[in-house]
């Protein structure tokens, strides 16, 4: 049975400490806090052996090196058993020619999913949630996304968001709409005494 360390007050939000947990995974016994010091993308999927989830995991496997280059660990989760996860990993290798090198957590009790708000307290299964949590090296949740079960996530967008979070981490700069690595950053809005017409929306390059 999974062990989750949470006070149970409410689903976690941006700025909260990510609830720690211990569980079995396709890579052995797993504890989230063991990954402190690195970025973590922790994501749920509705079920193994399903079409959308299979394409997501194949795409993540193909882009594993990009996440590694950003010092980010991927961690998947669903309510399926460890044995189902292992069988699915083999099936994905056979079908797509990819190896899933990141851990997939089993959560048959839905304890971890409920602690993260991935699964509603009244839900009898996990089919409604395709949630993703971006966790910084201190264990703080910095961003979240949630998709319905019938719409797949974009791995490109996961990487873009991760790069943006890392770029503004500890800095006063901001990333504009659609920012990608190498593009100009935004400056914080100036105080009301600045007469320049762009006082409320200035790019770093316009200093």
Calculate the dihedral angle through the C-alpha atoms of 2, 117, 123, 45, rounding to the nearest 10 degrees: -70
CB atoms within 10 A of CB 125: 11
Strand 39-44, strand 72-78: pairing? parallel
21 neighbors 31 (Cβ within 8 angstroms): yes
Helices (H), 63-175: 64-69, 82-96, 111-115, 155-168
Helical axes 82-96 vs 51-62, angle rounded to 10°? 70
Please tell me the distance from the alpha carbon of residue 203 to that of residue 191, in angstroms, as a whole number: 16
Helix, coil or strand: residue 83 = helix
What positions carry a catalytic annotation?
Answer: 53
Cα separation of the two ends of the chain: 56
């Amino acid at each position: 049975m999974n062990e989750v360390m949470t006070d149970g007050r409410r689903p976690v939000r941006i700025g909260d400490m990510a609830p720690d947990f211990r569980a079995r995974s396709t890579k052995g016994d797993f504890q989230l806090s063991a990954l402190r010091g690195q970025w973590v993308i922790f994501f749920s999927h509705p079920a193994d052996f399903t079409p959308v989830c299979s394409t997501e995991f194949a795409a993540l496997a193909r882009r594993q090196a990009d996440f590694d280059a950003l010092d980010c660990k991927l961690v998947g989760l669903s309510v399926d058993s460890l044995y189902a996860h292992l069988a699915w990993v083999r099936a994905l290798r056979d079908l797509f020619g990819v190896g899933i090198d990141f851990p997939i957590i089993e959560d048959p009790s839905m304890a971890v999913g409920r602690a993260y708000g991935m699964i509603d307290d009244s839900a009898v299964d996990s089919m409604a949630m395709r949630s993703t949590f971006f966790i910084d090296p201190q264990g703080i949740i910095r961003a979240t996304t949630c998709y319905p079960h019938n719409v797949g996530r974009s791995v490109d967008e996961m990487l873009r968001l991760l790069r943006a979070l890392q770029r503004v981490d500890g800095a006063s700069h901001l990333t504009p709409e659609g920012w990608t690595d190498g593009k100009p950053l935004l400056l914080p809005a100036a105080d009301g005494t600045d007469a320049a017409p762009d006082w409320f929306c200035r790019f770093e390059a316009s200093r």
